[in-house]
Amino acid sequence: MMIYLLSLGSNVGRPEANLARAVELLRAGGVEVVRASSIYRTEPVDHPGQPWFLNQVLEVRTALGPMALLDLGRSIESALKRVRSVVKGPRTIDIDILLAGSLELESDELTIPHPRMALRNFVLVPLAEIAPGAVHPRSRKTAAQLLQECPDTAKVEKFAGPF
């Protein structure tokens, strides 16, 4: 069994319901959710002018290898009607693999640790909430340290609903 840290995000349709449905589909795909962060309302970073996001980080356990988990995430994105028309644009759901313990992987389809995670408050705030001691294998810094050093100034606030 492997432990992964996943980032989920949504800003189209019913974002809160999209996050919940993605978690249900992960569980149905053989993924056990060990811990879930609070849901955060976050300002768009790379493509301003779109609706704010809801973001969450999950610690999960599964027998799936990284590529199989990536495939499951993509199938969930497809089931929730994600459209990839604008890079970094609006989406019903986005599922990213952030960390997989000390595993480092780089392929055309998947890079672990996630290459931009240390630059994103919307990832680091919920990550540090549930796994402040999680170590980024390349920098050897913890999630809490990465958050303290993060250059991102986009707003991240706990979501109290409704969206």
Q: Is residue 77 part of a domain?
A: yes
Q: What angle do CA 27, 113, 59 make, to 5 degrees?
A: 30
Q: Does residue 163 sit within a domain?
A: no
3-state secondary structure of 144: helix
Residue 91 inside a domain? The answer is yes
pLDDT in the model for residue 163: 64
Catalytic-labelled residue, pool 41, 91, 120, 152:
91
Number of domains in the chain: 1
* Other beta carbons less than 10 A from residue 4's beta carbon: 21
Closest alpha carbon to 37 in 123, 121, 97, 96: 123
Active site residue 74: no
Options 96, 116, 120, 152, the catalytic residue:
96
Q: Is 35 a catalytic residue?
A: no
Residue 131 structural domain? 2-158
CATH of the domain at 142: 3.30.70.560
What pLDDT, on a 0 to 100 scale, did the predictor assign at position 48? 80
Q: Which pLDDT belongs to residue 83?
A: 74
The sign one gets for the Cα dihedral 61, 44, 155, 144 is: positive
Structure confidence at residue 82 (pLDDT): 77
Q: Is 152 a catalytic residue?
A: no
Buried/exposed 22-39: b ≥16 CB within 10 Å, e otherwise: bbebbeebebeeeebbeb
pLDDT of residue 86: 67
Polymer length in residues for the chain: 163
Q: Which residue among the candidates 41, 94, 120, 152 is catalytic per the annotation?
A: 94
pTM for the whole thing? 0.95
Specify if 34 maps to a domain.
yes
pLDDT at 46: 81
pLDDT, mean of each 10-residue run, the chain (163 residues): 97 96 98 98 88 97 98 95 74 96 96 96 97 97 97 94 70
